[in-house]
Amino acid sequence: MILAWLIIIPLAGGLAAWLFEKKNALFVRWTALGSLLLDSLLLAFGWIQPAFFTGPVNDPWMIELNVPWIPQLGINIHLAMDGLSLVLVALTLFLGIISVICSWREIHDRIGAFHLNLLWTLAGILGIFIALDLFLFYFFWELMLVPMYFLINIWGHENRMYASLKFFIFTQAGGLFMLVSILALYFINGKATGIYTFDYSLLLEVDMGPKTAFFVMSGFFLAFAVKLPAIPFHPWLPDAHTEAPTAGSVILAGLLLKTGAYGLIRFVLPIFPDAVAMIAYPAMILGVIGIIYGAILALGQKDLKRLIAYTSVSHMGFVLIGIFANNSTALSGAVMQMIAHGISTGALFVIVGLIQERIHTRSIDRMGGFWSPAPRLSTVGILFALASLGLPGFGNFVAEFMVLVGTFRVSSVITVLAASGLVLAVVYSLWIVQRVFHGEPIEPLSLTDLSAREIGMMSAMAAAILWLGLYPLPVLTIVEPVIDSIQQYSVL
């Protein structure tokens, strides 16, 4: 039941926040924060005390919940957690807490409804990471999407209508392809075995002809590639990230993109090993194009938030490459990149939010010389810019390093091209540092430095990214059995 509680608590917290909206703003914020902290506590128990989680379940699952939901159609509430889910759930809760805290001063309008949407999106994401029934997975996929649409549409910036609609259409279109593929799997399996089920563990064993497999796989791939995003399915991302409120951007960049990568690892790799082997090279090439294209576009932007959004396209290219290089080193690297990018880019979006709160613009042309009035803000800004350029000592380096080492076994050309992204990353990261924190201030500016709340929030993120960079072993060990079990399906 613990797994169900993980999802129910934020759902309930969201409702409570909404109901108490009229009463007291502070109460709403603390309700939201409290429910996420409670969730984290639950998870922490499981992490520190695995026995609390682990029942007599098959490895690598640590804990499982399987109750019928609509038995006539073979739909179950099947939740389970393994190492991969665990780290991603932890990331979700961490960034969830950050996004509540970073909205503390930013959001004043309809805060109850805001936190309702925020927590429900988070609940959807949590569900995605632990659902093992494909119907349930699709349900959570939609649950994550709709509140996020409202977050952008209601609390976003100037061009929010356009951005939210674009986001919705792209994701929904991808999602529909996935729905078709899920149904196809359901029927193919039903015909072959007589058991009509959406259960992941049973569908893993489906037998399909290579053509069928390819088409069914494509549906999943499209949905996940839009989310990731892979070139050329990325255009929703810069708009959505730029227009969303800070908390929305943090969740988008930090978590939503990761659901795409998670889907590829959890579903596409093991269910369609032959089709994956077939598209491995094209997919890796898309990853390389994403790395370079994203970096070049990032350099052309004037809107700081948009700039960072394009760096996400670039960084997620490494994830795509790592997944389709499909060996344990590259996959571990891809998972590391999901976490490290979640934290580092999340932090960069928070920093843009902090800047926008202070100078009411995101335009780089209006920034510069922040170091002298706000050294703390600038320190964290530079710190995360360095993380994003892949400096050793930060989690991003470990991730990109492992992806590249793993990919080198498969293709040296792809590796070399992807590694050129490391040079481009220096160019855009140092460009941010120069234009925002260094230089002479454009206009005489009085910039208040970070408050205690903001220092706390940023220190937590800095500590996390440094920990991942200096001692990533715990994360790697916990993820390893999952990657090994997924590797068993690989045909490479």
Q: Which is nearer to other proteins, 21 or 239 (CB)?
A: 239
Secondary structure of residue 154 in the 3-state scheme:
helix
Q: Which is nearer to other proteins, 162 or 215 (CB)?
A: 162
CB 133 within 8 A of CB 75: yes
Q: Which is nearer to other proteins, 109 or 440 (CB)?
A: 440
Q: Which is nearer to other proteins, 6 or 297 (CB)?
A: 297
Minimum distance, C-beta of residue 197 to other proteins, in the bound complex (Å): 34
Report how far residue 186's alpha carbon sits from residue 182's, in angstroms, rounded to the nearest whole number. Answer: 6
Report how far residue 346's alpha carbon sits from residue 451's, in angstroms, rounded to the nearest whole number. Answer: 19
Q: For tokens 């639950």, name the residue.
A: 42
CB 319 within 8 A of CB 336: no
Q: Which is nearer to other proteins, 366 or 438 (CB)?
A: 438
Q: Which is nearer to other proteins, 402 or 482 (CB)?
A: 402
Minimum distance, C-beta of residue 430 to other proteins, in the bound complex (Å): 5
Minimum distance, C-beta of residue 217 to other proteins, in the bound complex (Å): 23
Residues that bind other proteins (CB under 8 A): 231-232, 234-235, 238, 293, 296-297, 299-301, 327-329, 332, 369, 371-372, 375, 379, 386, 391-393, 398, 401-402, 404-405, 408-409, 412, 415-416, 419-420, 422-423, 426-427, 430-431, 434, 437-440, 470-473, 476-477, 480
Report how far residue 302's alpha carbon sits from residue 227's, in angstroms, rounded to the nearest whole number. Answer: 24
Secondary structure of residue 64 in the 3-state scheme:
strand
Q: Which is nearer to other proteins, 234 or 305 (CB)?
A: 234
Minimum distance, C-beta of residue 465 to other proteins, in the bound complex (Å): 15
* CB neighbourhood size of 329 (10 A): 19
CB 192 within 8 A of CB 206: yes
Q: Which is nearer to other proteins, 190 or 441 (CB)?
A: 441
Minimum distance, C-beta of residue 354 to other proteins, in the bound complex (Å): 20
Minimum distance, C-beta of residue 330 to other proteins, in the bound complex (Å): 10
Minimum distance, C-beta of residue 388 to other proteins, in the bound complex (Å): 13
CB 3 within 8 A of CB 81: yes
Q: 204-231: b or e for each residue (b if 16 or more CB lie within 10 Å)?
A: eebebeeebbbebbbbbbbbbbbbbbbb
Minimum distance, C-beta of residue 422 to other proteins, in the bound complex (Å): 5
**CA angle (392 as vertex; 338, 309 as ends), nearest 5:** 40
Report how far residue 484's alpha carbon sits from residue 118's, in angstroms, rounded to the nearest whole number. Answer: 34
* CB neighbourhood size of 336 (10 A): 29
Question: What end-to-end distance do the CA atoms of the chain give, in Å?
Answer: 38
Q: Which is nearer to other proteins, 66 or 420 (CB)?
A: 420
Minimum distance, C-beta of residue 431 to other proteins, in the bound complex (Å): 8
Report how far residue 138's alpha carbon sits from residue 130's, in angstroms, rounded to the nearest whole number. Answer: 12
Minimum distance, C-beta of residue 33 to other proteins, in the bound complex (Å): 27
Q: Which is nearer to other proteins, 416 or 492 (CB)?
A: 416
Q: Which is nearer to other proteins, 219 or 229 (CB)?
A: 229
Helical H segments across 20-110, by residue range: 25-48, 50-53, 83-102
- CA 62 from centroid of its chain's CA atoms: 22
Q: Which is nearer to other proteins, 8 or 296 (CB)?
A: 296
Minimum distance, C-beta of residue 199 to other proteins, in the bound complex (Å): 30
Report how far residue 289's alpha carbon sits from residue 295's, in angstroms, rounded to the nearest whole number. Answer: 10
Minimum distance, C-beta of residue 383 to other proteins, in the bound complex (Å): 10
* CB neighbourhood size of 63 (10 A): 21
Omega before residue 375 within 30° of 0, cis: no
Report how far residue 257's alpha carbon sits from residue 76's, in angstroms, rounded to the nearest whole number. Answer: 26
Greatest CA separation found in the chain? 74
Under 8 Å CB-to-CB from 74, ≥6 apart: which residues? 186, 195, 196, 197, 198, 199
**Pick from 125, 95, 226, 128: which is nearest to 169 by CA?**
226
Amino acid at 180: V
